[in-house]
Amino acid sequence: MILCHLTIERFRNLARGELELSPGVTLFWGRNAQGKTNLLEAVHYVATGRSFRTRLDRECLPWDAPAPAVARIEGRLERGGVSHQLAVSLTDRAKFAWVDGKALTRLGDLLGKLMVVLFTPDDIGIAAGSPALRRRFLDMALSQVSSAYLGHLQGYVEALRQRNAAFRTGDSSLGAAPSEEALDPWAGPLVTHGVETSLARRKAVGELALLSCTFYKEIAPGDGLLNVEYRSGSAIVPDDDREQATEHFRRRLNDAAAIERARRQTLVGPHRDDLLLTVGGREVRDYGSQGQQRSVVLALRLAEGKWMAQQTGETPLLLVDDLGAELDQDRRGRLLPLFGAGVQTLATTVGDPRLLGSLIGANRAIEVQGGHLVDA
């Protein structure tokens, strides 16, 4: 999978730009606040239909643009010997997407057409932050390789939303035993979609754990073994099949009925899932240094890219913001050669592009100045 051409119009400070891209590593360099991250954000947007920096689409428009401002991003990619055209446009009120000229009725249908793995300095939250960040990491990887997973995740989120809304209105029937679906009409879809979501996450984590452990040993060989463990919020245990998982989820909902009524929210399900990350037997979130936490996240991201390639037969595009940020010299020296390796990579840096370019194997360096691209 190769992104061959990119067109950007009125996206943040990128007024207009066209870029032919090669299969190798392209390094975007320059001072801060020139638009390097904006460029990666635009690529992520055309691949996923969303920003990795904000939930407010209007923040992606030029701040001084007169209304009605429209941003547009187009990408041409080659996948399996076939060319495809992706496009996304957004205003301060709506956004639209097209694949090969056909308008999408659901933005989620864009996912997986151009698979991306994103590295940013904020990723340290996956190791050090809330469970929601670790769930988001899993969901983005799974949703790009499986439309079935995305459908179950969306079905679960909608059932959860409706059930919690009913709790807030004081519906006294909610929180009844989940077998009494006439009283709790959302328990059925909650369990059905929740079990499929949980089983897919459990399987993916098992596979990612092996890959990330290998990558971590290469980045930080003296730190001990990295272990990644799935923690189910649905009371699903490691050996459960689908039938057993369904029974355990239903029983857990039944046990939580009274406290859910008291708190007016659903307390059981994959929205309470988490990952336990340990290095040398110690939990990274509480005991890991910042260097360890960042190394763990980088190992997870590298594992994500390899896992996605194994699942689909196509290698995802790597987007790396602020290459080597906040790593000591030894870790950076071991990490950088792991990038590239035949994978199309777009990376940004404020450092010396010649030094970093040689370490990562970059075959092209482009300076970004005030939203404009200056090819070296």
| N-to-C CA span, the chain | 25
pLDDT at 209 over 90: yes
Read off φ and ψ for residue 346, nearest 5 degrees: -115, 120
| pLDDT, tens only, 296-316 | 999 999 999 999 999 999 999
Mean pLDDT for 342-355 is 84
Under DSSP, is residue 169 helix (H, G, I), strand (E, B) or coil? Answer: coil
Per-residue confidence band for 293, with pLDDT thresholds at 50, 70 and 90: very high
Per-residue confidence band for 332, with pLDDT thresholds at 50, 70 and 90: low
Nearest CA among 77, 67, 103 for reference residue 88: 103
What is the structure's pLDDT at 135? 98
Tell me the whole-structure pTM to 2 decimals.
0.90
Distance CA 27, CA 251 (A): 53
Mean pLDDT for 156-165 is 95
C-alpha distances in angstroms, 58 versus 14, 75, 118, 370? 15, 21, 22, 20
pLDDT at 326 over 60: no
| Residue ranges of domains in the chain | 1-107+317-376, 116-313
H/E element, 8: strand 2-11
What percentage of the chain exceeds 90 in pLDDT?
65
What is the structure's pLDDT at 340? 56
Per-residue confidence band for 229, with pLDDT thresholds at 50, 70 and 90: very high
Mean pLDDT for 82-111 is 94
Distance CA 297, CA 299 (A): 5
Range list of β-strands (E), 58-182: 71-79, 82-90, 95-99, 102-103, 116-119
Mean pLDDT for 166-172 is 79
What is the structure's pLDDT at 182? 44
CATH 1.20.1050.90 fits 116-313, yes or no: yes
Task: Please say whether the beta carbons of 250 and 179 come within 8 A.
Answer: yes
Query: Strand 25-29 vs strand 274-279: parallel, antiparallel, or unpaired?
Result: unpaired
H/E element, 347: strand 345-349
Highest average pLDDT, of 13-17, 189-193, 339-343, comes from: 189-193
Mean pLDDT for 131-157 is 97
Instruction: List CB contacts of 7: < 8 A, sequence separation 6 or more.
Output: 17, 18, 19, 72, 73, 74, 75
Nearest CA among 138, 88, 152 for reference residue 114: 88
Please give the mean pLDDT across all residues of the chain.
89
Under DSSP, is residue 64 helix (H, G, I), strand (E, B) or coil? Answer: coil
What is the structure's pLDDT at 330? 65
What is the structure's pLDDT at 181? 47
Mean pLDDT for 84-89 is 96
Distance CA 113, CA 320 (A): 19
Mean pLDDT for 257-275 is 93
Task: Please say whether the beta carbons of 248 and 343 come within 8 A.
Answer: no
Q: Which long-range contacts (CB under 8 A, 24 or more apart) does 223-227 make?
A: 223/279, 223/280, 223/292, 223/295, 224/279, 224/280, 224/281, 225/279, 225/280, 226/277, 226/278, 226/279, 226/296, 226/299, 227/276, 227/277, 227/278, 227/279, 227/281
Mean pLDDT for 168-195 is 73
Give the fold, CATH level 3, of 1-107+317-376.
Answer: Rossmann fold (3.40.50)
204 or 173: which carries more pLDDT confidence? 204
What percentage of the chain exceeds 70 in pLDDT?
90
Mean pLDDT for 314-338 is 73
DSSP class per residue in 281-343: TEEHHHH--HHHHHHHHHHHHHHHHHHHHHHHSSPPEEEESSTTTT--HHHHHHHGGGS-TTS
